[in-house]
C-alpha cells in the first residue's frame, strides 16, 4: 500500500476510506490489478469495524474502480489504467488558462477597504436605507404569485416593476417610454453588457468618456470591442473628437463620471446629430441624477432622440443599495426583443425575490419619499464639501461645478499627477479615502485632480475628513 | 403654429406645454427663428393662466431651445437647426438593429404557457417551496451586515454561502472543493456565460450533447462560438464522436438532458482522457442530481479530474425555485481569479438580498430536509410515470432507464417525428403539455420521442394526464 488513509477528525469513515482509495486509483498511486489490503486487515489497521471497510470496497466495486474475486481478494480494475495518465498535473493548479484579456482587467475591490473618512465615489449611504420597510415588503411579497410559481419568469422582468419604473422615470426625468420598453437588469452594468451583446461584433469600436467610469470600459474590452477614450470638457463629451468608426458611444450626460459636469444642450444636440450621421448607438447612463441640488435638469438624450438611437440605463444602486443589484434599461422599440433574448441567454431574468418588493416600494410612494429624504442629506454634504473646498483649498484645488449626484471633482492647482498621488497616499495613511482623477484615465492622462464622493461619509465626518485631506496637501 | 398642443387629461400643464413645444422644435416642426405665439394668446387658446405658459417658455429659454427678445417675442433658437435632420425616423421604430445572430435565437417562453397537465421538464414543484420558512429567513437576514452595507460585495458571492455550498456538495456529491473555488451566479446559465467569457475566443468550437439542453447552446452561439452537437448513447456522450477542435465540452453526466441517461464510468474516464489529449475544458452541469431514486451515484467528473479541466456547475433552480436565480460554479484554481473578474464585469455580483438567507437555509439543515421531502414526492411521481408507461404505453413508447432528477424520456416506437408532433399537438389540445425530443436537437434529428417532466405536475394528476396522452397516441 503506497497510500495513506487518514481518518483523523473524519466522521463519515466509510465514505472517507472510499474517497481516499478512489483518489489513489484515479491519480495512479494505486494501479490496475494492484491488490487492496484485505478488509479485515485494513479495518484493524484503521481501528474501524470490518463493515466500515467492506461498505467502502463495495462502493468502489459498484462504480467499477475495483473488482473482487472470491478467495483472491479485491483488485484495482483493469479498465481504470486510462486515468493514470491524467495524474501528472496536480489539481491544486489546473491546466486551464483564461484568455489573455483577463490579465489586463483588474479585480475592483471597493468591497475590501473600509475607511474612517470614506470619500469614495459611487456609493450611497447604507445607513439611510429603509431596512425595516423593506423587510415588511419582502414579508409581504415573498409569495408564490410574486415569485412566478415554479416556472422561469419573463426575461424582461416583473410586469409591475416595469410599469412602476416607466411611470417613475416619466415623472422624475421626462423619459418617454412604456413598460414594454423597460428591461430589468442586475444593475446598470448588466444593462450595458446586454447592449454590447445585441449590438457589438468583435473589433467594433466603442467610444467612452475619458476620463470615464471604468467598469463599462472593462466590460467592452473583455467582449472583444476596441475602446476609444474621448475627451470631456466643461460641456461634457467633446463630440468632434469622436472616432468616425465608433459604433456605440457610452456617456453619462446628467453628471459626467468622474468630472461631474452636465452635458450642455448644444453638445447633446451635436451628439445626437453625430450618431445619426455615423449610424452609431448611444448608451445614456443616468446613474445618479435623482439627486439634484440646483440648476434645472436638461432633458435626457433619450427624450431628445427622434431616431431611436439612445438606450437609457438607470440604476437603483445609488438610490437604494448597490448590493441589491437592480437596474434597468429603456431600449428603442427596434431593440426590445433582442434585449429580452439577450437577457434570457445571459441569466434568464433578474431574481424575482426582489422585483416585486421594489415595485411595491415605488408604487406606494416609498421610493419617492426615500429619494427626498436622502437627497436632503446628500445636499447637505455636497454644500459642506463645496463650501470647505472654496474656503480652505483654493491654493490646491479648482472645484469643477456640479449640482447633481453623489460626488464632486476638482483639478489640482500647480501639482503633478505624482504629487497628487502622494497627497492621496498621505490622506489614506490618515484614514481618508479619496480617489485620483487619474484612476479614470482611458487613453489620455487627465489633468491631475481628485474625486470626492459623499454617499458613504457621514455628514458629521466631512469637516474632519477634509481637514485631514488639507493637511495631506500641506505636508 | 404648425403643431397642436393638447392638454386633455394632462396634469402638469406647464410641463406639458414645455414638452410638446420642445418636441416640435427637436423634430423640426418648429424651425429656427420661428416665432412662438405670444404667451397671452396661447394661454387664452389653451384655457390656462398666462403664468402656466410663461413658465414653459422660461424653461425652454433656460435650456437654449428658444430666446426671448423684448418687444419682439419668443423665437426658436438659431442653434437648434442641427437637430431638425434627426426628425425623419419616427421614434416608435428606431433605427438600430441587433446583430443578425439574434434572429436565430428564439425567446423561450415557458413562463407564458400554463397547462392543466403540466409534464414540462426542468421545472420544480413551487407548491413544495417553503415560503414561510424563507420569509422568516429574509426577515432575519435582510440587514445592513448581510447586505454588505453600501459598498459593492465580493463578486464571488457571500462568504457564508460559498462555505455552505462547498460543504453541501462535498457531502451530497463528493465534490472536492473549498469555498474559495466557489463563485455564486444567477443560476447555472450565468455560470456557463462566465466560463464562456473567460475561455472562449470568437470562432472557438464548443461541443454540446445532441440532443441537449438548449439554453447553453444558444448562449455559446450568441457569444461567437461555433457549436457542434455530439451524439449521446445509453452510456452518455459518445466521446469518440467529439470534434478534434473542441475547446470546451458541455455535458450533463449525472442525468443527461433530455435523455436522462447517466454517463458510465468508462465513458467518464474516456472523456477526461480526451480533454487531456486535446487540451479542452469540460463544463459538468449537475443540474438536478439531488433527486435520486435508485442506483448508486457515479462520481462527478470534477472529482475524477486530476488536471483541473472540469468546471462543476450547480443550480438551486430545481431544488428551490428557478425564479430566485441562484446557482454556482466550482472552478479549478487556475480559473478562480478570472471567474471573479468576469462575474464583476458582468454584473458585479449576485444580489445579496437572497444569498444570506440561502446560506442560513443550508447551514440550518433546512435545505437538506427540503431535498428529502420533495425528493420523496418526485420519487412517487417518477415511479407512477414509469409504471404507467410500462403498463399502458408499450406499443408506443420505449422508456429510457433513468433514476435521477425531474424528468424521464422515451423513444417512440414505430412513429415518425411528424407523428410524434401530431400526438404532442393532440395532447396539448386536451390540456396535456409534454415535450418532443426533437425540441432538443442540435445538429442531428434525434430518434422521435417524448420528455416527461414531473416537477410541475401534481402527483394526483399524473394518472389522468397520462390517460389523455395515451388517448392522443391512439387517436
Yes or no: say if A385 and A408 are a contact pair by the CB < 8 Å rule: yes
**Per-residue confidence (pLDDT) for residue A113, from 0 to 100:** 64
Confidence tier at A82 by pLDDT (50, 70, 90): very low
Yes or no: say if B461 and B420 are a contact pair by the CB < 8 Å rule: no
List A residues 83-142 in contact with B (Cβ-Cβ < 8 A): 83, 85-99, 102, 105-108, 110-112, 123-127, 129, 131, 134-135, 138-139, 142
Nearest C-alpha neighbor of A63 from the set B427, B222, B265: B265
Q: In a mutagenesis test of the A interface, which of B128, B332, B347 is the best target, namely the one with the most A β-carbons within 10 Å? A: B347
Cell of A279: 449610424
* CA distance readout (Å), A247 to A225, B66, B274, B461: 10, 32, 41, 54
Q: When comparing pLDDT for B406 and A72, which is higher?
A: B406
Task: Supply the DSSP string of B113-151, one letter for each residue.
Answer: ---SEE--SS---GGGS-HHHHHHHHHHH-SHHHHTTTS
Contact flag A151-B322 (C-beta cutoff 8 Å): yes
B334 and A CB contact within 8 Å? yes
The mean pLDDT value for A60-74 works out to: 83
B144 and A CB contact within 8 Å? yes
Cell of B90: 419616427
DSSP letter (8 states) at residue A404: B
Least confident of A8-17, A68-77, B96-105: A8-17
pLDDT, tens digit (0-9, with 9 covering 90-100), for A203-223:
999 999 999 999 999 999 999
**Per-residue confidence (pLDDT) for residue B79, from 0 to 100:** 67
Is 50 exceeded by the pLDDT of residue A85? no
Q: How many CB atoms lie within 10 A of CB A326?
A: 28
The alpha helices in B263-365, defined as continuous H runs, are: 265-278, 301-304, 333-347, 352-363
Contact flag B351-A325 (C-beta cutoff 8 Å): yes
Yes or no: say if A197 and A342 are a contact pair by the CB < 8 Å rule: yes
Yes or no: say if B198 and A98 are a contact pair by the CB < 8 Å rule: yes
Nearest C-alpha neighbor of A453 from the set A362, A358, A322: A322
DSSP letter (8 states) at residue A151: S
**Per-residue confidence (pLDDT) for residue A4, from 0 to 100:** 63
A397 vs chain B: nearest CA distance in angstroms? 27
Q: How many angstroms separate the CA atoms of B323 and B118, rounded? A: 18
**One pLDDT digit (tens) per residue for chain B, 475 residues:** 335 676 766 777 888 888 888 877 876 777 788 888 888 888 888 888 888 898 899 888 887 888 888 778 888 887 663 443 333 333 446 788 898 888 888 887 655 567 899 999 988 998 999 999 999 999 888 887 778 777 888 999 999 999 999 998 988 888 878 899 999 999 999 999 999 999 999 999 999 999 999 999 999 999 999 999 999 999 999 999 999 999 999 999 999 999 999 999 999 999 999 999 999 999 999 999 899 998 777 889 999 998 899 999 999 999 999 999 999 999 999 999 999 999 999 999 999 999 999 999 999 999 999 999 999 999 999 999 999 999 999 999 999 999 999 999 999 999 999 999 999 999 999 999 999 999 999 999 999 999 999 998 999 999 999 999 999 999 8
DSSP letter (8 states) at residue A447: P
Contact flag A96-B134 (C-beta cutoff 8 Å): no
Contact flag A345-B218 (C-beta cutoff 8 Å): yes
B370 and A CB contact within 8 Å? no
**Per-residue confidence (pLDDT) for residue A89, from 0 to 100:** 38
Does the N-terminal peptide bond of residue A5 adopt cis geometry, omega within 30 degrees of 0? no
Yes or no: say if A289 and A297 are a contact pair by the CB < 8 Å rule: yes
Compute the CA torsion angle A245, A247, A253, A259 (nearest 10 deg): -50
Q: What are the backbone angles phi and psi of residue B97, rounded to the nearest 5°?
A: -125, 140
Contact flag B351-A455 (C-beta cutoff 8 Å): no
Task: Supply the DSSP string of A243-256, one letter for each residue.
Answer: -TTEEEEEE--SS-
Percent residues over pLDDT 70 in chain A: 94
B357 vs chain A: nearest CA distance in angstroms? 11
**Per-residue confidence (pLDDT) for residue B85, from 0 to 100:** 35
Residues from chain A contacting residue B111 (CB–CB below 8 Å): 148, 151-154
**Per-residue confidence (pLDDT) for residue B341, from 0 to 100:** 95
A392 vs chain B: nearest CA distance in angstroms? 29
A8 and B CB contact within 8 Å? no
pLDDT, tens digit (0-9, with 9 covering 90-100), for A385-412:
999 999 999 999 999 999 999 999 999 9
List A residues 187-216 in contact with B (Cβ-Cβ < 8 A): 187, 189-190, 193, 197-202, 215
Contact flag B142-A152 (C-beta cutoff 8 Å): no
Q: How many angstroms separate the CA atoms of A309 and A332, rounded? A: 7
Nearest CA in chain A to B282: A96
List A residues 147-166 in contact with B (Cβ-Cβ < 8 A): 147-155
B370 vs chain A: nearest CA distance in angstroms? 15
Cα-based angle A63, A64, A70 (whole degrees, multiple of 5): 115
Which stretches does DSSP call E strand in A171-280? 182-185, 205-210, 226-233, 236-237, 246-251
**Per-residue confidence (pLDDT) for residue B467, from 0 to 100:** 98
ipTM field: 0.84
Yes or no: say if A456 and A117 are a contact pair by the CB < 8 Å rule: no
**Per-residue confidence (pLDDT) for residue A358, from 0 to 100:** 96
Nearest CA in chain B to A337: B107
Tell me which H or E stretch contains B244. Answer: none
Nearest CA in chain B to A115: B151
**Per-residue confidence (pLDDT) for residue A80, from 0 to 100:** 65
Residues from chain A contacting residue B17 (CB–CB below 8 Å): none
Residue with cell 410638446: B20
Nearest CA in chain A to B454: A150
Cell of A141: 411579497
A42 vs chain B: nearest CA distance in angstroms? 22
Residues from chain B contacting residue A225 (CB–CB below 8 Å): none
Q: What are the backbone angles phi and psi of residue A327, rounded to the nearest 5°?
A: -150, -175
The alpha helices in A279-416, defined as continuous H runs, are: 301-304, 333-347, 352-363, 366-392
pLDDT, tens digit (0-9, with 9 covering 90-100), for A30-61:
778 888 888 888 888 888 888 889 889 988 88
Contact flag A126-B150 (C-beta cutoff 8 Å): yes
The mean pLDDT value for A143-160 works out to: 85
Q: How many angstroms separate the CA atoms of A167 and A364, rounded? A: 12
3-state helix/strand/coil string of A117-128? EECCCCCCCHHH
A417 and B CB contact within 8 Å? no
Closest residue to B89, CB basis, from A134, A307, A349: A307
Least confident of A14-23, A78-87, A455-464: A78-87
Q: How many CB atoms lie within 10 A of CB B134?
A: 24
Is 80 exceeded by the pLDDT of residue A9? no
B415 vs chain A: nearest CA distance in angstroms? 31
If 0-12 CB within 10 Å is exposed, 13-18 middle and 19+ buried, where does residue B133 land?
A: middle
Residues from chain B contacting residue A138 (CB–CB below 8 Å): 135, 138-139, 142, 353
B36 vs chain A: nearest CA distance in angstroms? 20
**Per-residue confidence (pLDDT) for residue B82, from 0 to 100:** 43
Amino acid at each position: 500500500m503506497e497510500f495513506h488513509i487518514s481518518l483523523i477528525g473524519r466522521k463519515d469513515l466509510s465514505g472517507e476510506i472510499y474517497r481516499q482509495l478512489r483518489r489513489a486509483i484515479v491519480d495512479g498511486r494505486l494501479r490496475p490489478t494492484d491488490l487492496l489490503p484485505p478488509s479485515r486487515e485494513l479495518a484493524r489497521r484503521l481501528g474501524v469495524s470490518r463493515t466500515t471497510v467492506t461498505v467502502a470496497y463495495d462502493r468502489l466495486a459498484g462504480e467499477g474502480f475495483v473488482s473482487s474475486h472470491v478467495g483472491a481478494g479485491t483488485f484495482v480494475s483493469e479498465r481504470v489504467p486510462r486515468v493514470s495518465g491524467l495524474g501528472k498535473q496536480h489539481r491544486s493548479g489546473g491546466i486551464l488558462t483564461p484568455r489573455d484579456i483577463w490579465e489586463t482587467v483588474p479585480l475592483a475591490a471597493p468591497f475590501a477597504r473600509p475607511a474612517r473618512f470614506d470619500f469614495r465615489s459611487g456609493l450611497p449611504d447604507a445607513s439611510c436605507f429603509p431596512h425595516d420597510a423593506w423587510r415588511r415588503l419582502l414579508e409581504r411579497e415573498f409569495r408564490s404569485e410574486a415569485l412566478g410559481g415554479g416556472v422561469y419568469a419573463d426575461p424582461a422582468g416583473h410586469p409591475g416593476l416595469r410599469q412602476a419604473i416607466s411611470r417613475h422615470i416619466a415623472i422624475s426625468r421626462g423619459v418617454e417610454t412604456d413598460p414594454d420598453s423597460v428591461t430589468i437588469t442586475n444593475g446598470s452594468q448588466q444593462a450595458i453588457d446586454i447592449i454590447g451583446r445585441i449590438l457589438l461584433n468583435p473589433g467594433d469600436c466603442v467610444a467612452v468618456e475619458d476620463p470615464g467610469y471604468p467598469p463599462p470600459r472593462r466590460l467592452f474590452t473583455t467582449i472583444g470591442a476596441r475602446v476609444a477614450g474621448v475627451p470631456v470638457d466643461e460641456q461634457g463629451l467633446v463630440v468632434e473628437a469622436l472616432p468616425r468608426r465608433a459604433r456605440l458611444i457610452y456617456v453619462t450626460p446628467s453628471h459626467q463620471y468622474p468630472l461631474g459636469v452636465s452635458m450642455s444642450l448644444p453638445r447633446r444636440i451635436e451628439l445626437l446629430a453625430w450618431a445619426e450621421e455615423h449610424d452609431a448607438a448611444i448608451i445614456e447612463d443616468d446613474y445618479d441624477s435623482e439627486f439634484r441640488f440646483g440648476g434645472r435638469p436638461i432633458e435626457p438624450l433619450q427624450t431628445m432622440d427622434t431616431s431611436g438611437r439612445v438606450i437609457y440605463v438607470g440604476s437603483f444602486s445609488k438610490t437604494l443599495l448597490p448590493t441589491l443589484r437592480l437596474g434597468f434599461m429603456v431600449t428603442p422599440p427596434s431593440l426590445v426583443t433582442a434585449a429580452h433574448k439577450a437577457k434570457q441567454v445571459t441569466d434568464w431574468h433578474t431574481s424575482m425575490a426582489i422585483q416585486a418588493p421594489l415595485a411595491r416600494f415605488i408604487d406606494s410612494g416609498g421610493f419617492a419619499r426615500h429619494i427626498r429624504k436622502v437627497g436632503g442629506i446628500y445636499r447637505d454634504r455636497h454644500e459642506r464639501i463645496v463650501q470647505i473646498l472654496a474656503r480652505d483649498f483654493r491654493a490646491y484645488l479648482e472645484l469643477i461645478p456640479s449640482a447633481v449626484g453623489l460626488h464632486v471633482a476638482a483639478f489640482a492647482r500647480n501639482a503633478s499627477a505624482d504629487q497628487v498621488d502622494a497627497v492621496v497616499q498621505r490622506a489614506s495613511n490618515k484614514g481618508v479615502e479619496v480617489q485620483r482623477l487619474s484612476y479614470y484615465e482611458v487613453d489620455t492622462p487627465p489633468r491631475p485632480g481628485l474625486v470626492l464622493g459623499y454617499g458613504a461619509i457621514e455628514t458629521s465626518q466631512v469637516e474632519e475628513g477634509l481637514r485631514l485631506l488639507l493637511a495631506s496637501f500641506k505636508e
